[in-house]
Structure 1
Amino acid sequence: MNEDNPDRRFRALFISDVHLGAGGSQADQLLDFLKYHDAETIYLVGDIVDGWALKSSWHWPQSHNDFVQKMLRKARKGATVIYVPGNHDEFLRSYYGTHFGGIEVVENAIHEGADGRRYLVIHGDIFDLVVQNARWLAHLGDKAYDFAIRINRLVNAFRRSFGFPYWSLSQWAKFKVKNAVNYIGAFEQTLAGEARRRGADGVICGHIHHATIRDEHDIRYMNCGDWVESCTALAEHEDGRFEIIAWTDPLRRSSPVVPMSVRAA
């Protein structure tokens, strides 16, 4: 297949939480995803580069460099590429309004859907009280998450040897641990409230590594997920439908995160 002629083209793609520079980043999966999917506008919705991880130890394999080069190449060929930094790549927040190789760095953006609905595009960490008020705790949690990822890799190595599908420890915890469920719910409500305050019809964000599309109180909340575990991206079709595409397991590629797609209403 010609990478310049992918199988699926979208009006817009939203990618967040790639964490280039961290050992858990699945940049190789994202590169594979981009062989088959393209869009006229690509939003990089924060934590694309993990400055926190790079400060503690340098980890930059070829796949991480290849992703950066691919984004630069897409911008050169005419795609609109917009970078909204998050907390892990906060060093880029000093460069709002500038361009790097055609990639525009902005604090947040308003994406106008095919039907005219307006969506606030923002990473979301500024509404996370742990990140804003207890950075030491956020860094501690980040280390714990990295440890969980390493354990999860060992577990899944055994699962693959016995023919079982991929299983995510952190995703399981997000649905089973009451405090995690409450945190996700509060985060979603806060971001939806911010979109309403700004006069937008919805919000597109990242940060909590939990891909979803949800309508609540006339506000659409959409989270891109991540490329550490879930390997998900949010896509807008030409007719205005939004879809979350999962790219984790080769046997389950393109199988959706429920709900798979929602038409703007």
Structure 2
Amino acid sequence: MIKRKIELAVISDVHLGTYNCNAKNLLNYLNSIEPKKLILNGDIVDGWQFKNRYFPKSHLKVIKKIMNMAADGVDVIYITGNHDELLRKFSNTTIGNIKIVDKLVLNLHGKKAWFFHGDVFDVSIKNAKWLAKLGSYGYNFLTLINRFINWYLEKRGKERYSLSEKVKNDKKETKKHIAKFENVISDLAIENGYDYVICGHIHQPKMAYIETKHGNTMYLNSGDWIENFTALEYQFKRWKVYNYNKDKLSPFYVEEEFEDMDIKNLIAAITIVEQHGKKSK
């Protein structure tokens, strides 16, 4: 299989362990690329809504795929988010080719790129975490209903429809919140001399050149794998927002080795990554 070779891929807001996660689409995407670095920019596993009775094989397959990519030499950098904040106690831990961090700075062809999830700049989380969790449950319920609506629309040959986008677009406060989030992050990036600032968190894929009287930066948001199915890709000194529904760049489907995978296979995959790390030292 010929895969697309890219220098860097960024995904965020996957929310494994929830009913709204589109793990199969994400697995197709991961099977279609061969990155040098894979950055998991927060909320990959949803610790807020994790339930022992719900973690299907498709979700385990995504984890195993990432483990295998690391074992094959891909640098996997896991940046913690608010939904997987339990991992923050393991910040700066390295297992083979997998590293857990809270933020990251990379030099990309002479330009500084600043990566973080984005929740630290979200006032609703900083001031009232319980309210943010309540809002998260409401959002997940809305997107769950939306999945049934889109299933019906696709059966009728009609375009998909996003209820959450409709709600966001109808509420001025939501628009103001997103704009403030983007402005604060961009201003900080300019103030600290970063050419690129890359985040997730708000489930709004975007790439925008921001210029103020103090300087300029490029704001990038990787979106999510709940509704938008988007990622960020960097290749040939350029960034791109990859959209799974629109781009369809050579997606590959589930490999046979994943078909009968269970939790024992996942533990074995982790062991492989650890052994790979020991050999490379």
- Give 1:9-20 correspondences, 5 Å limit: 9-20=5-16
Structure 2 residue identity aligned to 1:246: N
8 Å CA contact retained: 1:27, 1:64: yes
Q: Which residue of 2 aligns with 1:63?
A: 58
Q: Which one has a bigger Cα radius of gyration? A: 2
Find the partner of 1:53 among 43, 49, 54: 49
Shift of the alpha carbon at 1:9? 1.3
Find the partner of 2:70 among 75, 91, 94: 75
Q: Which residue of 2 aligns with 1:228?
A: 226
8 Å CA contact retained: 2:12, 2:224: yes
In 2, Cα distance between the equivalents of 1:230 and 1:38?
22
In 2, Cα distance between the equivalents of 1:161 and 1:10?
35
Matched residues, number: 245
Shift of the alpha carbon at 1:43? 0.5
Q: Secondary structure of 1:23's match?
A: coil
Q: Which residue of 2 aligns with 1:30?
A: 26
Post-superposition CA distance 1:224-246 (Å, at most 9, x none): 00001100000001x21111111
Unaligned runs of 5+ in 1: 256-265
Q: Which residue of 1 aligns with 2:127?
A: 133
Q: Percent identity?
A: 36
In 2, Cα distance between the equivalents of 1:197 and 1:243?
24
Unaligned runs of 5+ in 2: 250-281
8 Å CA contact retained: 2:74, 2:97: no
Greater RCO, CA 8 A, separation 6+? 2
8 Å CA contact retained: 1:130, 1:138: yes
Shift of the alpha carbon at 1:101? 4.4
In 2, Cα distance between the equivalents of 1:127 and 1:232?
22
Shift of the alpha carbon at 1:172? 2.8
Q: Which residue of 2 aligns with 1:44?
A: 40
Q: Which residue of 2 aligns with 1:143?
A: 137
Structure 1 residue identity aligned to 2:66: M
Q: Which residue of 1 aligns with 2:242?
A: 245
Matching of residue 111 in structure 1 with residue 96 in structure 2: no
In 1, Cα distance between the equivalents of 2:34 and 2:171?
36
Post-superposition CA distance 1:108-166 (Å, at most 9, x none): 0012223x211110000000011111011101101110110121112112211211021
Matching of residue 170 in structure 1 with residue 164 in structure 2: yes
Q: Cα RMSD (Å) of the superposition?
A: 1.5
Shift of the alpha carbon at 1:200? 1.2
8 Å CA contact retained: 1:21, 1:53: yes
Find the partner of 2:82 among 68, 83, 87: 87
Matching of residue 21 in structure 1 with residue 17 in structure 2: yes
What TM-score does the superposition give when structure 2 sets the normalisation length? 0.83
8 Å CA contact retained: 1:196, 1:202: no
8 Å CA contact retained: 2:82, 2:119: yes
Q: Which residue of 2 aligns with 1:215?
A: 209
Q: Which residue of 2 aligns with 1:262?
A: none
Structure 1 residue identity aligned to 2:56: P
8 Å CA contact retained: 1:206, 1:224: yes
